Chains A and B, each alone.
Chain A
Amino acid sequence: IASSALAKPQMCGLLDKRLLFHIVGAIIVSLGVAAFYKFAEAEPRKKAYADFYRNYDSIKDFEEMRKAGIFQRAK
């Protein structure tokens, strides 16, 4: 049972307000997710590959595999 008057609620512009909030939020969230992914996953992966192949000797690698006995024709 209300005995005091309530404040007048917002009457217009409800959709505009909601849209603005959600558009701005969506832009921020998507940019944030993309940036997070780039710096948490993509850059370390590129670095890992670069480090692996910088001093990679493929002949030595092949010889190790051959000695381990996995090939059928190159024993």
Chain B
Amino acid sequence: MFFRTAWSLVLRKGGLGIRGIHSPGDTAPSKGKMPPYTNYHAQRSYPMPDEPFCTELNAEQQALKEKEKGSWTQLSHAEKVALYRLQFHETFAEMNHRSNEWKTVMGCVFFFCGFTALLIWWQRVYVFPKKPLTLTDEWKSQQLQRILDMKGNPVQGLASQWDYEKKEWKK
């Protein structure tokens, strides 16, 4: 941890590489390309991208890359971390960390559902034509009475809930 903070301080001061300091979650386009047209994209299901994160290296980084070609035991811990950061934008922990985005998504979903409900209400009042005859309350009650007279589903269904002596629904 000490080396990490030290190294990030060095980055801040030196401005190594083309990229500045990124908080996890940022995409960093390589020079000449506008976001998000970068070939670097790592995700949990495809964690090893085709190209490294930093492609334009300044002198110090190039020196480090040369050193990498030798034995890795010579590399200090901070150098290894720096090489990792050149190759990859984020560590696995940073890449996979959870976010609160779902709250925003659900909030927007519910908001637009509510808005749609208002639109449909307005439609009901100003657009819909008169109800057909068979959907009026009078017709529907006559229809229900006929079904009960025919004893539709008398074992477990509709007519089983009707009390024929008292002429009302069973409690």
A interface residues (Cβ-Cβ under 8 A, vs B): 1, 45, 48-49, 52, 61, 64-65, 68-70
B interface residues (Cβ-Cβ under 8 A, vs A): 1, 3-4, 77, 146, 149-151, 154-156, 160, 164
State whether A70 touches B150 (Cβ < 8 A).
Answer: yes
Extra pairs beyond A48-B160, A65-B150 (5, CB < 8 Å): A1-B4, A49-B155, A52-B160, A65-B149, A68-B149
Q: Pick the contact of A70: B3, B149, B154, B155 (CB < 8 A).
A: B149
For A64, the chain B residues whose CB sits under 8 A away are: 151, 164
For A45, the chain B residues whose CB sits under 8 A away are: 156
The complex places the Cα of A68 from the Cα of B151 at a distance, in Å, of 11
State whether A52 touches B154 (Cβ < 8 A).
Answer: yes
State whether B149 touches A48 (Cβ < 8 A).
Answer: no
How many interface contacts (CB-CB < 8 Å) are there between A and B? 23
Chain B min CB distance to A41 (Å): 10
Q: Pick the contact of B146: A1, A52, A61, A70 (CB < 8 A).
A: A70
State whether B1 touches A1 (Cβ < 8 A).
Answer: yes
The chain A residue with its CB closest to the CB of B150 is A70
Chain A min CB distance to B162 (Å): 12
For A1, the chain B residues whose CB sits under 8 A away are: 1, 3-4, 77
Chain B min CB distance to A54 (Å): 12
For B155, the chain A residues whose CB sits under 8 A away are: 48-49, 52
For A52, the chain B residues whose CB sits under 8 A away are: 154-155, 160
The complex places the Cα of A62 from the Cα of B149 at a distance, in Å, of 10
Chain B min CB distance to A50 (Å): 10
The complex places the Cα of A52 from the Cα of B160 at a distance, in Å, of 10
Chain B min CB distance to A6 (Å): 15
The complex places the Cα of A11 from the Cα of B137 at a distance, in Å, of 71
Do A69 and B154 contact each other (CB < 8 Å), given the known contacts A1-B1, A64-B164?
Answer: no
The chain A residue with its CB closest to the CB of B147 is A70
The complex places the Cα of A64 from the Cα of B3 at a distance, in Å, of 92
